[in-house]
Amino acid sequence: MQKRKLGSNNLEVSAIGLGCMGMSFSYKPFPEKHEAIALLRGAVERGVTFFDTAEVYGPFNNEELVGDGLAPFRGQVAIATKFGFDINPDGSHGPKGTDSSPARIRQVAEASLKRLRVDTIDLFYQHRVDPKVPIEDVAGAVKELIAEGKVKHFGLSEAGANTIRRAHAVQPVAALQSEYSLWHRTPEEEIIPMLEELGIGFVPFSPLGKGFLTGKIDENATFASTDIRSSIPRFRPEARIANQALVNLLTNVGEAKKATPAQIALAWLLAQKPWIVPIPGTTKLHRLEENIGAAAIELSENDLAQIESVASKIVVEGARYPEHLEAMTGL
C-alpha cells in the first residue's frame, strides 16, 4: 500500500489505517479474540502499518488485544493510543469525565506501554480536551515522555483551532484525530487550513460515517441497545432516509469507477490532502480488503468537482452525537 507522512513530523504510515475500537467496544457483537488477532495480522500482511486504539476502549482490553495481535510486528507498524479520561485502574467503571492531569498522563503511558507490549508509544493522543487542565500542561507532560523515549509523537483528538495552536507551541503536534467525512465536513472551515499551516497531519475517524456511507444501512436497519448508533440522532430512521442522498452520490460515482460507495468515500478523503490518513474500523476481513482497495482509486478533478457539486446541496440530517457526548468534543 502507498505510504503517507502525517504532516512534517516524519511519521510515515500506510495511506489507510485500521481503527480497532469496534473489535471490543461500542459495536457489539464483538469477534472472538482469535478472530480479531487474525484480522490485525491480516491487515499487516496487506500493507496496513497504522493501528488506532485507546485505553478507554473496553476499558483496557482493546489495547491488550492490539498488543497481542501486533506483537510479531514490533518495529514494523505504528500504534496510536490515547489518554484523557478518568477511569478506575481496575476498569470497574467507564470514564467518569476527563482527566489529563500530568500525573494521569504519565500513569496512562506506563500502563499502555505494558498492554501494547512496546517500548515506545508511536502516537499518543489526548482523547478529548480537558477543560480543567491547561493544554500547555498537557503538551508539557507529553514532551517529557518524548524526552524519556516513552512516546514518539504527540496528538490531539477533537480539539479546536486555538487549543491546537497553544499545544503546538509547547510540543509539536504530529496529528489531529477528528471526525471527517462527506457527512461531517466541519473541519474544512478552520481546522484543515490551520493543520496545513502548522504541518500537522490529519487522521479522520468515522470516515465512513459509522458505516452509513457503505450503503449497507437503510431506514429499516436496527441497532442493538449496546451499539452506539442506537443513541445517535443521525441514525434515527427519518434521518437515514434524508441522508440516503449521500449514499446515492457515492454509489453513482462508484459505478463509473467499478468501486463501492465505501471506497469512493475513502478515496475522496485521500484526495483532499496528501497528509490525511483515514482509519476506518471493521471486524471483517472482506471489509478490510474493500477499505484498503480505496487507496488505489484515483479521483480526477472532474470526479471531485462532480462530488462537490452534488454534496454541497445535501443537508445532512441529525446530530452526530447525543448531547452529552457532543459536549465533550472540545470544539
CA distance 26 to 298: 32
Q: Is 149 helix (H, G, I), strand (E, B) or coil?
A: coil
Give percent helix, percent strand, percent coil of the chain, each to the nearest 5.
Answer: 45, 15, 40
Which residue type sits at 207?
P
N- to C-terminal Cα separation, the chain: 33
CA distance 279 to 180: 11
Q: Are 1 and 48 in contact (CB under 8 A)?
A: yes
Q: For residue 250, report the phi and psi dihedrals to the nearest 5 degrees.
A: -65, -40
Cross-strand partners of 4: 13
Q: 57, 125, 180, 321: which is the annotated catalytic residue?
A: 57
Buried b or exposed e, range 296-318, using 16+ CB within 10 angstroms: ebebeeebeebbeebbeebebbe
Torsion over CA: 285, 288, 292, 298 (sign): positive
Q: Is 31 helix (H, G, I), strand (E, B) or coil?
A: coil
Let me know if 180 is a catalytic residue: no
Helix (H) or strand (E) holding 102: helix 102-116
Active site residues: 57
